[in-house]
């Protein structure tokens, strides 16, 4: 009699490394070395819009957006953070948190549609490790 | 001895109609008939990032994002909402809340960079009026 459990959309699973879970969100690192790019996915079933969250969860999402954004600013020394919930292609509610630089591949345009380039193994592991440490994440899934 | 007051960035003033003020944010309607597009600007001086908000203001921002997003869904029957804080071009912290449709000019891509087409007078006034009514906004500025 339980609602369907949370499962990650297969496209997100394919495009990202899983870093771990915060209280509300699964934290993913997009496998794209062109932009330091984290994705937060609230671990609730059947969400498409921010308005689908309970009020309590929506406030928790903001807290986690701020927490992750601060960590990325500290780690990457970003010149600007871009934060967005779009979902036109992958319908599962997810929030992009992207560190931007005036010299990055898309500046000043948004990053979507600018292609991707996978991390070299060590490079991806290093950034993933720094983020896991800053966010106190451990992989349990 | 006061901090500098809130003033709207001239680019936002130029591109948008002002609909009124919520508790935290000024509410703007982008003058672009290609997409129903509201912009929320927290009425605090010198903000660039969501992480620049106090914790209390960041939670209020989420409440107002949800409130405005719900109103736009009701008024426009949007198929998807896009919500984003980018700020690569206009540095003042502002949140885009955009109603998207599978038949719109940019679908499924994000709207930025897809040009704009100003509203016909009556068309813009009608949408602005519906939003003001739904959000209980009155113009005091």
pLDDT at A84 (0 to 100): 98
pLDDT tens digits, one per residue of A27-79? 999 999 999 999 999 999 999 999 999 999 999 999 999 999 999 999 999 99
pLDDT at B141 over 80: no
Give pLDDT tens digits for B96-128. Answer: 999 999 999 999 999 998 989 999 999 999 999
- Please give the backbone phi and psi of residue B76, each rounded to the nearest 5 degrees, phi first: -100, -15
Q: How many whole angstroms separate alpha carbon A121 and alpha carbon B121?
A: 56
Query: What is the reported pTM?
Result: 0.96
Interface contacts (A, B; CB < 8 Å): 104
Min Cα separation A80/chain B (Å): 7
Strand-strand pairing, B80-85 and B16-21:
unpaired
B37 pLDDT higher than 80: yes
Task: Say if the Cβ atoms of A69 and B50 lie within 8 Å.
Answer: yes
Q: ipTM value, please give it.
A: 0.95
Smallest CA–CA distance, residue A120 to chain B, in Å, is: 28
Q: Which of B63, B86, B100 sits opposite A110 (nearest CB)?
A: B86
Nearest CB among B55, B80, B86 relative to A87 is that of B80
Taking alpha carbons only, the member of B14, B17, B20, B46 closest to residue B134 is B20
* Total Cβ atoms within 10 A of residue A84: 21
How far apart, in whole angstroms, are the C-alpha atoms of residue B53 and residue B49? 7
Residue B1 has pLDDT above 70, yes or no: no
Confidence (pLDDT) at B75? 98
- CB-nearest to B83 from A73, A85, A109 is A85
* Six-digit token string for B83: 């919500």
Q: What is the pLDDT of residue B4?
A: 77
Are A119 and A9 contacting, i.e. CB atoms less than 8 angstroms apart? no
In chain A, the residue whose alpha carbon lies closest to the alpha carbon of B66 is A51
Task: Indicate the length of chain B as a whole number.
Answer: 141
- Residue A140: pLDDT band (50, 70, 90) is low
Host H or E run for residue B81? strand B80-85
**Residues in contact with A24: Cβ distance below 8 Å, sequence separation at least 6, in sequence order:** A42, A43, A44, A57, A60, A61, A64
Structure tokens at A74: 């500290």
């Amino acid at each position: 009699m339980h609602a369907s459990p949370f499962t990650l959309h297969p496209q997100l699973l394919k495009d990202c490394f899983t870093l771990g879970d915060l209280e509300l969100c699964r934290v993913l690192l997009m496998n794209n070395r062109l932009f330091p790019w984290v994705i937060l996915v609230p671990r609730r079933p059947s969400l498409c819009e921010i308005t689908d969250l309970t009020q309590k969860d929506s406030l928790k999402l903001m807290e986690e957006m701020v927490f992750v954004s601060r960590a990325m600013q500290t780690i990457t020394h970003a010149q600007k953070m871009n934060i967005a919930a779009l979902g036109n292609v992958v319908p599962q509610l997810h929030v992009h948190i992207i560190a931007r630089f005036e010299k990055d591949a898309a500046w000043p345009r948004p990053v979507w549609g600018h292609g991707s380039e996978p991390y070299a193994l060590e490079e991806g592991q290093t950034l993933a490790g720094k983020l896991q440490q800053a966010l106190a994440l451990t992989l349990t899934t």
